[in-house]
Each structure stands twice: as C-alpha cells, then as structure tokens.
Structure 1
Amino acid sequence: MNLAERNLTAADVTQEAEGRWRELLQPNFLAATVTLCLGVALFAFNEFFVSTALPSAVAEFGGAALLSWAFTLYLVFAIVGGALAANLKARFGARRTLIVAALVFVTGTVIATAASGMPQVLAGRLLQGLGEGIIAAVCYALIPELFPPRLVPKIFGAEAIVWATSAFAGPLISGLLTEYWSWRAAFFVNVPAAAIFIALVVAIVRQPAQAGRAAGSIPLFRLLGFGFGILLISLSNTTGNGYAMTALLVTTLLIFVGAIQFDRRSSNAILPSDAFATGRPLGTGLWVILLMPLAQASGSVYLVYAMQHLWDFGPTAAGFSSALMAMSWSATAILVASLRSYEFRVQLIGTGPLLLILGLIGLTLAVETGEHRLIFVSQIAIGTGFGVSWGTLSQLLMDVATIGERDKTSALLPTLQSAGYAIGAAVFGLTANARGFDEGASDRVMTAALSGVFALGCVIAAASLFFGIRTLRLMRREIRTAPCGQSTAQRSA
C-alpha cells in the first residue's frame, strides 16, 4: 500500500500551518474545542480525583487488598473500551456512541458514589473505565473530522493544557472535597461534568445517516483476548514471586501475539492493517506510541518512592517531580503547536525519544550517585521529550492511515498509551523484584534495584528512538514514490 492510497501527500507535509490559537475560540470551532477537551478532562480529572479519594473509601469500608483492583479494573476496561471504540463509532455513529459511553461512565460514578462496600466501588470503577475508554478513543477519532489540518496541532496543545490543569487541580480539589466533605463528593464531581459533555455532544456531533452499514460484528473474542492480556499484566504486579510474574508476562505476550495475528487475518479487524508493521510508517509510529509510555513508566512507578526512601523527601516534594514532568510536557506541547511549519514539527518527532533517553539516563545517574537534583532536570527532559513529539506524531499517524482506517488509528492512540503504562509497570516490577526490591530492603539493595529499572527504561526508550527515526525515513520514502499533486480523495474518485 503506497502513499497514493493514504491521506498524506507531499504537499500536505510541506504545507505551512496557518492556524491560530484564537480560531479555537471562534463560534464555528468553540463548541467542538470545549467538547473534545472536556472528553479528555473527564479521563484526566477522574484519574487524579480517584487516586486521591480512593484511600479514604478503603479506610471507610476496609478491604485494603482491593485497592489495587480499583485501578486495575478501570485500566483493563478502559483499554477494552478504547479497542472497541472504532467499531462502535462505525456501527452507531460518534454521537450515539459518545452519549451511551458517557451514560455508562455516569452510571459507574453513581454506583461508586453510593457504594456501601468495596465491591460496589469496584463495579463502579469497571463501568467508569469502560465508558471513559470509549470516550477518549472516539474524541481522538473526531479530531480530524471536526477540525481542519491547520488546527489539529492547536487541539493537541489545548489537550496538553487540560492535562497540566488536571495534574495540579485534580489532587488539590479532590483532597479538599475528601478532607472537608467526603470522598463521595470527589467521585460525584464527574456527574455534572459528564452532563455538560453529553449536552455538547448532542449540539455539535452530527449523526451520519448511514451509521452502522460499514461496521462488522463486534470482535468479542479478540477484545476478550486483549482485555485478558492486560488483566494478566496487572495481576503480575501483585505477585511477589519472580517466576510467577515471568510466567504471567510470557503468557500475556503469547496472547497478544496470537490476538494480533488473528486480527490481521480477520475481515473485521480491530487494529489498522499496518499496525506494528516495521516496514510502514504507521506500524513503526505505533511502536513509538507504545514504547515511550512504557519506558516512562519506570519513573511514574518508582520515582516518588525512591525520593521518599533514598533522600527522605516528603510526599509533596516528591510529588512535585511528577508535576514538573507534566508541566514540561504541556509547556513544550503548546510551544510546538505554535510552530507554523508542519514539516519542521515532523522533524522534531525523533527529538522526543532522544530527550526521553537523556532523562532516564539522568534518573539512573541520580540513583547511582545520590545526586537528587538530577531528578528534577531529568523530569524536565522527559516531559519535554513527550511534549515535543507526542502531538505531532499523533497527527502524523492520523494522516498516514488509509481513509477507511483513520478511525481505528485515531482511537488506538490513547488506548495504546494506556497499554504502554500497564505493560511498563509489570516489566519494571519484575525487574525491581528480581534485584531484591522490597519494602524492608536496605538503601544499597534499593539503589541497585532502581538503577536496574531506570537502565532498562533507557534501553526501551532507545528502541522508541529507533522506531521514531525509522518512521520519518519510511514517510519520506513514501512521499518520494507517491505521484505529486493529487490527494487521496482525488485518487479514490
């Protein structure tokens, strides 16, 4: 399949983006901007709200052993919902899909808010994850439909602002509500936000007249396979036995490989046809989307713990390192989105994994040398790496996908990002445990374990750099071989 059959032409790549930030606030784009940002905010705020409020729910009901399952079930069903999103959008249309998904999310929120025990909280979290996974994926798929190409970078920049706001305001608001009112209030805040989201969807998202005709049957078996694989990854984090953890991860790998191979042979595939193919820019780009969060998970899982136990940082100061990464990501994403040249932004994609490598090397050196100031510099480098490349890479993958697979590709991006974090948490958990990491471990053992974790993160980040560079080379090759001057729409006609 060459570039003539895709959405990207040489003229598209070299065009100067003329979009302005103020256009997002004009009447013809304002509602769409608010809708998509609110869809992201539901996911982001819910993540930060719940992580702060859940311990209070556990304290009220007991069952601390179930705390991790509140996160596990949300993640598993968010990934399943994201994988299902493109099929639902094709079958029922974006508007109906978003409305029903929001109602599922609200139902889960109400169940968790009114819970009388941890089982009800878990049931609510399951429904929240399923609904929000669909919402996030469909919102990504709507970006190229609701906005012209010149404004797509600005939308990714606006979503970066939402994430930064959530990282700061989410824990603060949730903490205040939990402390001075109830943890239930922190959950219930999602209900009015979802109601506003539904109203905006009804107002701006059009329902296609032929929704459902192009959709095949729901690939339930493959969805269960992907979901079961993610569940095994989460389970591997709860076992203290290294052999059991390894067995679970190997089993997960076999399940994923089998499910992907089966999906490629199916006439009703979940994944784009070029997904993870090393000879296509879409395939190599998706590897970057998976591997960068996977590598960064080394810091998100263990960094705060290391700062508290190796350098005696308090929770607030240790948590600031994560906020610093989020700030750097958002600030850089906004700056990159303001660049007018699409071609120049594309060239920066390879810089993102490189900065990620440098940041993880810095974390490794910080642990080895005891120089805690390196942590803050490294977190800035990691956040900048994501900010400089993530939005542009996402837009590029939407562009290089075939017209018929654009929804699958767009919806896969947030789903694959979540999967990367889940896989990373398991892989680095196995690495740390194999090197003696334990709650009562000495500083020397903990240092060795965390050095191994961050060093492995560097290796994975290096793989993402390889695929990032290869994505750019494959894209240039396809542009050179594609006939100039014709768009995909013209060729299809």
Structure 2
Amino acid sequence: MSDSSGSSSWSEIFTPRFATVTLILCLGVALFAFNAFLASVALPTAVQQLGGIALISWALTLYLVFAIMGGAGAALIKQRLGSRNALILSAAIFLVGTVIAANASSMTEVLVGRSFQGLGEGVMAAICFALIPELFPARLVPKIFGMQAVIWAVAAFGGPVGAGLLTELVSWRAAFLINVPLVAIFVLGVVFVVPGKREGSTAEVGFPGIRLLAIGAGIMLVALAGITPPLEATGLLIGAAVLLAGAVLLDRRSRVRLMPLGAYWPTSVVGSGLIMALLMPIAQAGAAVYLILLLQQLWGYGPTVAGGIGAVMAVAWSLSAISVANVRRPTRKILIRTGPALVTIGLVGLLAGLLMEQLPIILVAQLAIGAGFGISNGYLNLSMMEAASDEERDRTSALLPTTQSAGNAIGAALAGVAANSAGYASATTSAEIHQSIVPVFILGAAMAALAVLAALRMTGLMARNTTTSAFAAAE
C-alpha cells in the first residue's frame, strides 16, 4: 500500500490510471451484492415451475455458507495461484454455478448451482478486497470503500427490481443468466489489469480442509438455528460457537494460516477490528430481517412503501461513506468510535418508533444506523489493512467481507431465536407482536454496544502504536 496521505478528489479513481481497476473491483463486489438479493425475487417463480418450495430458504443459506468458506480460504488461493489466476478460477466456478441454476430441472439442482455461485463469489469478493491496498494508494482507499457502499445501496434497490423485471418479462432463468455477460466483462478486465503471481511466491500451501469444514459446518448450524424451535436452536448455536472458535484456535496453531495472527482477539488493532467488523452486522441483522415485515404487519403498509423505508438505511450508508472519504487521519479514530454508537442509538430508536407507532422516529433511526456503518466501515477496514504487516495484509483484507457475511448470518439466526422465544411466530394481535419483537432489538443494541467497546479498544491500540512509533523515530 502506498503510504501517501495527501488529499485527493473523487475524480482520481476514474482517471486512466485507476478507472479500469476501479471498475473491475467494483464489479466483483457488485456480482456478490446482486446475487445476495437474487434468490428472494426470482426463486418464488422458480418453485412454481420446479416444485420444492420447502427448499427455497436454502437457496440463500447455501450461497452464504459457501461464500463464507470461499472467502476464508481466499488468501491462501491468492498466495498459491496469484491474484489474476485466482480471480479467473473463482469467476469460472461462479459461472458454472450460474449455468447449473439457470438450466435446473429441480430445486435440488438450483441449490447445487447456488452453492457453486457462493463458493466462487466468496473467493472473488475477498480477493477484490485484498487487492484494494495493493492497487491503490492509501489516500484513495476510503473512496473505493465509499464506491462499494454505493454499489450495495444500488444492489439493494436495483437487484430486486432488475431480477423482478427479468423474471416477469423473460423468465426466472434470465435473472440468473444476466450474470454471464457481467462475468465475461469481469474476467476480461482481470486479464488486463490484475497482476499475476509474484516471483518467488512458490511456497507450498497445504489444503486447510478441517478448518474450512469447521467454518462451513458452524455457519450451517447457525442457519439451521434460525428456523428451529428455541430450545433446539440454542443447542445448535452452542455447537456453532464451538466449531467456529475451534477453527480460529486451530488456525492460530497452523503453519499455513487462513487468518491473520491474533484474529478475533482483542490484543491487536487487527484482532479488535475484526471483532467490531463481526459485531456490527450481527447487531443490524435483526432489523434487516424483521423491520419491513413488521411495518406491513403492524401498520398495514404495502411491500413498496415498507421496502422504501427499509432502504433508507442503505441510502444513508452510501451518502455518509461518500461524505467522510476525505477526512484527515486524526478524525478517523473518532469516526470508528462514533459508528457503532450511532448503530446502537438507531436500533433503540427503531424499537421506540415501532412501539410508539411513530414513522418519523423510525426514519431518523434508519438514518442513524446507515450513517453509523457509512462513517466507520471504510476507515475500520483501512486501519486494519495499515496495521497488518506485509505478510498478513492479504489475510486481513480477504477476511473482511467474510467476517461481515458471517456476522449477517449469525445475526439473522440470533434474531430468529430471540423472536421465536418471545412468541413472535404465534403472535396475532399488535400487543403480542410488540412484546415479541422487544428482545430482537434489545439483542441488536447490545451487540452494537459491544462493538463500541471493540472500537474503543481498537482506537486505543492505534493511538498507543502511533505514540510508540513516534518515540522510536525520535530516538
């Protein structure tokens, strides 16, 4: 990563030097974002033709499980094959999954295709993250993260709309096949702008099968917990925690690691940052799962209006990420600490707005949550990349989207357990629904509060490291 701290304009990432790289990295993330929303729109029509409605929820579950596994192993794949070959291979895997799903004659085949899609896209997204500090100077990294926030907001709106139009006007299969030309553009760009394997990077890399299996099984148990009764779900979550913690501990002792040293351990900037990066999606996932549904249940809003209110968070995320992309270095620590605090306030505000039936409170709360993610996420990621050693930077960068995806999966499952334990599934009156959703938002706010503590720990370590470096330079 170039250590340039000078100011820069947004137009610089679109100059001839960086424009193609910007397009390719953003397209890699866009494929992941779009396909995360695809299943909920196209597959209801697919099951009417293919049957297997009981399997429909697994289309997203398997996509995320394999995406997390792929992302976890992305740094090793990049090390073994080089960035260019790893991206081409993962794009090919994603394309195979797309073709299988688009030509499926049963829901089982759709699930196989979605699994390949998730595996390929998990690697693609993680390597695209890892390439950001390699291909851009430090002063432009916040702007690239800002662009990616815009992509997620566009995907939140355009993904469902585009998939819906293709499904209605052509077929649900076309909603999958639209990926084919996008992958072709992505691969063409990768061939020309992404560096190949570095000279001297020929160290033998073993296959971390046990660790990847433990990660995949752990996330699978988390997904199952979200759709099972509370007592069984608790056991599944305990089992998932054991598997995921075991994978982290086993990785720390391995000769060839998937994760940076000290991952998810609050003794370093990277470890504390990864804890924060995990906790914030966990905190927000409950609102993402239940808010739109609650607005329809409690207030009688239609899907369009309720969806628009839900999308306020994504718009606030993008706008706030863009607005802070030029802040000076001392302000970054403030933004990292302020982000999870805003998310905490916003989640409490959502609960208050639902209980008091006040739309303005909900809108302000959504703005607070989106702004919390937008102002902190880019600088959280950048600070971890800068704190990581050259040897650990690939592992750190590649683990970021994987950690966020895992946080979303874990948070959705925890929210489901909290809601079902409080009787949400059987609630019929407004009072019963109100009572059953309280634990969902309290749990989310508690996770966000823990993220505040992780942010304080991280920024404290950053300040300590800066002071130590200053003393060393003075000597």
Task: Indicate the larger mover: 259-268 or 401-410.
Answer: 259-268
2:262 alignment counterpart: 274
* Aligned pairs for 1:360-439 within 5 A: 360-438=347-425
Q: CA deviation at 1:439?
A: 5.1
1:330 alignment counterpart: 318
1:446 alignment counterpart: 433
The alignment-based identity, stated in percent, is: 48
C-alpha distance in 1, partners of 2:140/2:169? 42
Length-normalised TM-score, structure 2: 0.97
1:153 alignment counterpart: 142
C-alpha distance in 2, partners of 1:455/1:242? 17
2:339 alignment counterpart: 352
Q: CA deviation at 1:145?
A: 0.5
C-alpha distance in 2, partners of 1:221/1:60? 38
1:19 alignment counterpart: 8
Q: CA deviation at 1:19?
A: 2.1
Matched, 1:103 2:98: no
Report SS of the residue matched to 1:404.
coil
Q: CA deviation at 1:96?
A: 0.4
C-alpha distance in 2, partners of 1:79/1:279? 25
1:471 alignment counterpart: 458
Q: CA deviation at 1:424?
A: 0.6
Q: CA deviation at 1:440?
A: 4.9
Task: Indicate the larger mover: 272-281 or 105-114.
Answer: 272-281
Q: Is the 8 A contact 2:349 2:361 kept in 1?
A: yes
State the one-letter code of the partner of 1:24.
I
Which of 278, 282, 304 is equivalent to 1:294? Answer: 282
State the one-letter code of the partner of 1:64.
I
C-alpha distance in 2, partners of 1:211/1:421? 38
Q: Is the 8 A contact 2:43 2:56 kept in 1?
A: yes
C-alpha distance in 1, partners of 2:99/2:210? 30
State the one-letter code of the partner of 1:417.
Q
Matched, 1:77 2:38: no
Q: Is the 8 A contact 1:17 1:342 kept in 2?
A: no
Alpha-carbon spacing, 1:464–1:209, altered in 2? closer, same or farther (3 Å): closer
* Aligned pairs for 1:114-153 within 5 A: 114-153=103-142
C-alpha distance in 2, partners of 1:191/1:50? 17
1:315 alignment counterpart: 303
Alpha-carbon spacing, 1:210–1:220, altered in 2? closer, same or farther (3 Å): farther
1:247 alignment counterpart: 235
1:4 alignment counterpart: none
Report SS of the residue matched to 2:56.
helix
Q: Is the 8 A contact 1:50 1:186 kept in 2?
A: no
C-alpha distance in 2, partners of 1:298/1:369? 19
C-alpha distance in 2, partners of 1:49/1:246? 30
Task: Indicate the larger mover: 263-272 or 76-85.
Answer: 263-272
Q: CA deviation at 1:169?
A: 1.6
C-alpha distance in 2, partners of 1:287/1:55? 36
Count residues in correspondence. 473
Matched, 1:43 2:40: no
> Deviation per CA, 1:100-132, whole angstroms, max 9, x where unpaired?
100110110011111111111101100000000
C-alpha distance in 2, partners of 1:365/1:72? 31
2:245 alignment counterpart: 257
> Deviation per CA, 1:315-359, whole angstroms, max 9, x where unpaired?
1111112211110000000111133x1222332111100110110
Report SS of the residue matched to 1:376.
helix
C-alpha distance in 2, partners of 1:49/1:206? 31
C-alpha distance in 1, partners of 2:330/2:282? 27
Q: CA deviation at 1:216?
A: 2.2
> Deviation per CA, 1:33-87, whole angstroms, max 9, x where unpaired?
1110100111111222332111111121111110011111100000000001000
Q: Is the 8 A contact 2:7 2:326 kept in 1?
A: no
State the one-letter code of the partner of 1:368.
L
Gaps of 5+ in 2: none
Q: CA deviation at 1:483?
A: 5.0
Which of 196, 202, 217 is equivalent to 1:213? Answer: 202
> Deviation per CA, 1:234-272, whole angstroms, max 9, x where unpaired?
111121x21100000011111112221111111111111
C-alpha distance in 1, partners of 2:85/2:470? 39
State the one-letter code of the partner of 1:151.
L
State the one-letter code of the partner of 1:32.
V
Q: Is the 8 A contact 2:251 2:257 kept in 1?
A: yes
C-alpha distance in 1, partners of 2:278/2:214? 18
State the 4+ residue runs in structure 1 displaced beyond 6 angstroms. Answer: none
C-alpha distance in 2, partners of 1:484/1:187? 56
State the one-letter code of the partner of 2:259.
L
